[in-house]
A = this chain, B = another copy of it.
Amino acid sequence: MARGPIRVMTVDDHPIFRDGLAALLAVHTDLELVAEAEHGGVAIERFRELRPDVTLMDLSMPVMGGAEAIGVLTAEFPDARIIALTTFQGDADIHRALEAGARGYLLKDALRHEVVDAIRTVYAEGWVLPNAVAQRLAKYTPRVELTERELEVLRLMAKGLRNKDIARAIGRTEATAKVHVLHVMQKLGVNDRTEAVTVALSRGIIHLD
């Protein structure tokens, strides 16, 4: 096959981490860094201009999150090959990114060859998933599906609001708030609001600020 190098874009809000990726790509002749972006918004612009073969997309970014950007890009370019990249706080991030259309998932503490292999594989075969992630994915497969309302209530729970205050915050009666709180706890499989919040945090369902 007489084609050029794989054209790669990196998206991460940490300049130094982008430099690390750039250095990694530089030592491989079959990989070429064609664009960098510091958040999702810029990434979408760059993608439209340059159509990179593979995109490494951080999930935890300000301005526009990675999962959201992946959703926008795959909607506009269904064959976009995007690898989600994160520090691995949670699992909801994995699900969100993959559901949004990511073709693979890498942890930020991945070894250099793991990143290179992932880029090559996702370019050649269209997808890639490392063991650790696949295990997590299987482990938490009973994906928790919270409704928008329940998510809203969960975030208020995390701020320490009592049922009465949650009710006031969402403009409903305390009875309604209690039902939502109860549903959240049942769906997360816990017995009290505090554990509901910590479980939601550890699975990336909600975030602190």
A residues bordering B, Cβ < 8 Å?
13-24, 87, 89, 108-112, 115, 157-160, 162, 190-199, 201-202, 208-209
A16 contacts across to B, CB distance below 8 A: 17, 20-21, 24, 108, 110, 112, 115
Question: Main SS of the interface on chain A?
Answer: helix
A195 in contact with B23 (CB, 8 Å): no
A202 partner residues in chain B, CB cutoff 8 A: 208-209
Of the A-B pairs whose beta carbons lie under 8 Å apart in the complex, a sample of 26, sorted by A's number, is A15-B20, A15-B111, A15-B112, A16-B21, A16-B108, A18-B20, A19-B19, A19-B20, A19-B24, A20-B21, A20-B22, A22-B23, A87-B87, A89-B208, A158-B194, A159-B195, A159-B198, A160-B194, A160-B195, A160-B196, A160-B198, A194-B194, A194-B197, A198-B208, A201-B208, A202-B208
- From A89, which residue of chain B is reached at the shortest CB distance? B208
User: Are B14 and A19 closer than 8 Å at their CB atoms?
Assistant: no
Q: How many copies does the complex hold?
A: 2
Tell me the bound Cα distance from A111 to B24 in angstroms.
19
Task: Verify A162–B192 contact, CB threshold 8 A.
Answer: yes
Q: Taking A23-B22, A208-B202 as contacts, is the C-beta distance between A15 and B194 under 8 angstroms? A: no
Q: Which residue of chain B is the closest to A27 with respect to CB atoms?
A: B19
Within the complex, the shortest CB–CB distance from A105 to chain B, in Å, comes to 15
